[in-house]
Amino acid sequence: FKNPVGLSAGFDKNAELINILPSIGFGFMEVGSITARQCEGNVGIRLKRLPKKKSIWVNMGLNNKGANAISNKLKNKKFKVPIGISIAKTNCKETTDTEKGINDYIETIKIFESKNIGDFFVLNISCPNSYGGQTFHNPGLYERLLKEIVKIKIKKPIFVKLSPDLSKKNIDKIINISDKYIIKGFVCSNLTKKHSFRKGGLSGKAVEEKANRMIKYIYKKTRGKFIIIGVGGIFSAEDAYKKIKLGASLVELITGLIYQGPGLISKINSEIVKLLNQDNYSNIKEAIGKGIK
């Protein structure tokens, strides 16, 4: 990774900006979330800015062109930065059935793995605005999903994207199950569902504190065993650096980019270097988890 600042899933849903966005300073990117079949997304208003909260209300519904179309476009392409493939289950009533939902994840993983596309996978089990809700936050169902994924014998690292609304008890169970299988780390976190709107989720500053608490909890609980990608409310180098000192090895953002423009990314990168120097660290690795008491 050229630097620790990446683009979170949900912005470049169909991998259309994959050779453009690295030029504004991103060290890596996630594309998607991608589903086995094409999704049109949810009906009605899907996005709304909440400027006073520095947040965005999101009710997209996993709209994307589907695994086959996107993978065919990316096949044999070379990328400027590491690319993560964010994978979710198709947003339809059919995949609310557990077995069909699992098969949906498996189908997408197999498509991208067979074509050797991407540098890592992210299992998005935490989308707050899809049919059936966050099914695989249920520990028993989560383990069933991982049992099937293991059979594919994937060589690339696999991360799991979690909801910021999970209880510590649920997080503990997910950590224990992940430790038994091939999970490399966690993306902390997705949108929060705890808000005054009837549906959808909130990004940005509305989720920052929850995401930071989750990063700290998982890092401390596992003593740094898992790689953590910190997401939620990054509008400055200080925001990103705080996540790193709480245990994140990498960070991602979208909302800060939308509110403050593309110049934010290079600014964060240059100012993180200054923050490291102030703390007498020579690299990011030395700072990871150092803010935990």
The answer to whether residue 127 is catalytic is yes
Burial (CB count <10 Å: 0-12, 13-18, 19+), residue 80: middle
The residue-averaged pLDDT of 181-209 equals 89
Question: pLDDT band at residue 134, thresholds of 50, 70 and 90?
Answer: confident
Return the sign of the alpha-carbon dihedral for residues 190, 14, 50, 47: negative
Give the model confidence (pLDDT) of 202-239 as tens digits.
Answer: 999 999 999 999 999 999 999 999 999 999 999 999 99
Please identify which of the residues 39, 92, 127, 188 carries the catalytic annotation: 127
pLDDT of res. 196: 65
Average pLDDT of the segment spanning 247-275:
98
Provide the pLDDT for residue 133. Answer: 67
Q: What is the 3-state secondary structure (H, E, C) of the chain?
A: CCCCEEECCCCCCCCCCCCCHHHHCCCEEEEEEECCCCECCCCCCCEEEEHHHCEEEECCCCCECCHHHHHHHHCCCCCCCCEEEEECCCCCHHHHCHHHHHHHHHHHHHHHHHCCCCCEEEEECCCCCCCCCCHHHCHHHHHHHHHHHHCCCCCCCEEEEECCCCCHHHHHHHHHHHHHCCEEEEEECCCECCCCCCCCEECCHHHHHHHHHHHHHHHHHHCCCCEEEEECCCCCHHHHHHHHHHCCCEEEECHHHHHHCCHHHHHHHHHHHHHHHHCCCCCHHHHCCCCCC
Residue 128: per-residue pLDDT? 66
Q: pLDDT tens-digit profile of 117-127?
A: 999 999 999 98
- Residue range 9-31: average pLDDT? 97
> What are the structural domain ranges in the chain?
5-287
**CATH 2.60.40.10: does it fit domain 5-287?**
no
Q: Is the peptide bond before 167 cis (omega within 30 degrees of 0)?
A: no
State pTM to two decimals: 0.96
The pLDDT-based confidence of 199 (bands split at 50, 70, 90) is: confident
Q: Tell me, what's the pLDDT at 200?
A: 82
pLDDT at 130 over 90: no
Give residue-wise pLDDT tens across range 145-157. 999 999 999 999 9
